[in-house]
Structure formats: C-alpha cells, structure tokens
Amino acid sequence: MSKQRKFLILIFILLVGGYIGYNYVYQDHRDIQSETSQIEITAPYLLERFKTNDGAALLNKTITVTGTITNMEEGAVTLDESVYASFSEQISELNTNDKVVIKGRCIGYDELFEIVKLDQCSLLNKTND
Amino acid sequence: MKNTIILSIIYLAFMATAIGQEKYATKTGEINFEASVPSFEEVKANNTNVSAVLETATGNFAALALMKGFRFKVALMEEHFNENYIESSKYPKATFKGTIQDFKLSEVSGKREYLIKGTFNLHGVDKNFEVPAIISVNGEVVMLTAHFVLQPEDFKIKIPSIVSNKIAKDVNVSVVFSLQKQ
C-alpha cells in the first residue's frame, strides 16, 4: 500500500513538473496590444531621441506614438516622416494626413531611412481634419 | 546678374547629380534564417521589416535589419536569441553594404545572377563577404533575392555547449527585397 502511494506521488510530481516545464518552454508571445505602454511620445521627438543616442532605453518596449500620417503602405504607415509603424492586422480605415495615436513595440532606429521602426502596432485613436 | 548665372549653374549641376542617383528602395524586405537540426525543435525566424537601398547607377547596395524584428515561433527561443546570442540591446542592427559587380539596370532582362561584394556587420563584427544574388526587373520594381550561409562563430556569437547540438553550425539565410523606384 505504501509502495503504491509513493508511486502515485512520483507520477503526480512528474506530471506537475512536466506541465510547468512545458509552459515555460512554450510560453506565449508578448501581446503588445494588451500591454500598457511605457511612454507616450510624438513621432518627431522619438526620432530625435534615437538620433541623439538616447533611444536604447526604449528598445523592445511597448510605446504610444502620436503623429500625422505622411505615407501609407500595405500594412504600415509613416508618421511625420519619422516613425515607420507596421501593423499586426490589416488597416483599412486610415488615410494620409490623419492624426493618429498608435501603440506598438519599438524595434530600433533604421539609419538607412533615418526612421524609427515599430512593429505589432495597433491604432488607439484617430482624428482627421 | 552674375549671381543668377552662378546660381543657375549650381542648380543645374545638382539637377544632373539628382538624375544620376536613381534609387530603388524598400522598408519591407524579408530575411529568413534557419539553423534547425533534424529531430529537434526548429530554429527558424523571419523579419519582414528589413530596409534596403539600391543605387542603380553605381550598383551600390545597402541593407539594414533590426535584430528585434526577428520573430520566432517559440517565444522563449526569441528571448534567448535576443538576450543571449545576438545581444540585440547592445547590437540592435545588422547591416550589409556592398556593390553589385558589373551591374547595369538596362542589361537586366528576365532573371540574372550577380555577385555582390561587401561587408556584413552583425553582433558588432565586420566580415567581408561575396553574396550571389538573383536580380530581376519588373517595371518600376527591382527584385533581389539571395541565399547564403553564415557561421555564428565568425561573428563571435557564442552558442552554449548545452544547446549546441540543437542549433546547426551553418545558418541558412535567405533574403527577398522588392525594391521600389523612389
């Protein structure tokens, strides 16, 4: 009886350990859309920070950026010619010159185009005037 | 009067250089890499936000990938890639700068293979490299694709021995750039 009990306890520990291990190895990706953003910043100022080497602290952070759309591409917009934001979902309701507030993950400064890039963006607010 | 003439000469000179500097560029180039070992978890990532610029007059080509833009299927693998191997906070980008050998845009008809000679910068290490690339032109779009192999140790990327049998020594990289006329 006691041997059987030990065996059951061992099985239980293995199952729990396996479950925790599996969840650790196959944990979910970050969900940028549900994360609270660390900072709210205008597009030109965000670019300025990276140009003056003050942007490293923002890398990989979820941030909110405000600006005017200066260029539209498939699945991405450019704000004030300073920030390139690629969206995780299709965007259909946006147009050039819209003033928008977007949330996304800052992935760094692209010196070829002199632009800061964000990915996994979502639209928080827009006004067109 | 003299000033106007000088100004217009300068203006014309700028115009001429502007015409000579025809550029094709993209911000949505794609890089895939794979270092999988059979029967282990696949080690594979892709980045669809790679920038590239081609100057057709000189054949100069430059590309830049932000390391944090590489996405893996397994989130923990992505975390390890960024924090332990590629150290993307310290070295946020990888770049390639080079020249396409014997390149003339007007001579590209259909698909043609070229050699790009240049320098990779990855993980803070420079390495000279020759990349064979296939280029095709379709109206205002220049398509550039390439496949090549990189070794992590060339770029001082250390793979801990505990996982080294799960990550291939040769990393297969493929790139696709659809460069739009600017």
ipTM for this prediction: 0.84
Gap between the Cα atoms of A110 and A93, Å rounded: 27
Closest-CA distance, A110 to chain B, in angstroms, reads 7
The CA distance from A74 to A70, in Å, is 14
Assigned token pair, B13: 């000179």
8-state DSSP, B64: E
CB–CB of B118/B61 below 8 Å? yes
Q: How far is CA A59 from the centre of its chain?
A: 10
User: Residue A71: in which H helix or E strand, if any?
Assistant: strand A62-73
Quick check: A67 and B29 in contact, CB under 8 A? Answer: no
- Delimit the domains of chain B by residue range: 22-181
pLDDT 10s digits, B19-42:
556 899 999 999 999 999 998 989
Q: Tell me which residue has tokens 């396996």.
A: A18
Pairwise CB contact (< 8 Å): B51 & A110: yes
Q: Which of the listed ranges A72-76, A117-121, B13-17 does the model predict with the highest average pLDDT? A: A117-121
| Chain-chain contact of B27 with A113 (C-beta, under 8 angstroms) | yes
Chain B segment 107-166 residues within 8 A of A by beta carbon are none
CB B66 within 8 A of CB A105: no
A20 touches chain B (CB under 8 A): no
Task: Note the CATH architecture for domain A39-128.
Answer: Beta Barrel (2.40)
**Which residue in chain B has the smallest CA separation from A87?**
B49
pTM of the model: 0.84
Q: Which amino acid is at B35?
A: A
Pair of tokens at residue B100: 């396409």
Residue B115 has pLDDT above 60, yes or no: yes
Which chain B residues are within 8 Å of A117, Cβ to Cβ?
27, 49, 66, 69
Instruction: Report the length, in residues, of chain B.
Output: 182
> Are B76 and A29 in contact (CB < 8 Å)?
no
The mean pLDDT of chain B is 89
Q: Name the closest residue on chain B to residue A120, using Cα atoms.
A: B69
Answer whether CATH 3.40.309.10 is correct for domain B22-181. no
Which of these, A86, A102, A90, A103, lies nearest to A35 by C-alpha position?
A: A103
With beta carbons less than 8 A apart as the criterion, state whether A69 and A94 touch. Answer: yes
Q: Are the Cβ atoms of A25 and B27 closer than 8 angstroms?
A: no
- B104 band by pLDDT with thresholds 50, 70 and 90: confident
Check CB contact of B97 with chain A, cutoff 8 Å: no
DSSP annotation of A36 reads P
Q: What is the predicted pLDDT for the residue at B132?
A: 95
Q: Across the interface, do B75 and A110 touch by the CB < 8 Å criterion? A: no
Say yes or no to pLDDT of B7 above 70: no
A106 with A58: CB under 8 angstroms?
Answer: yes
Chain B contact for A105, CB < 8 A? yes
Please indicate if any CB of chain B lies within 8 Å of the CB of A117: yes
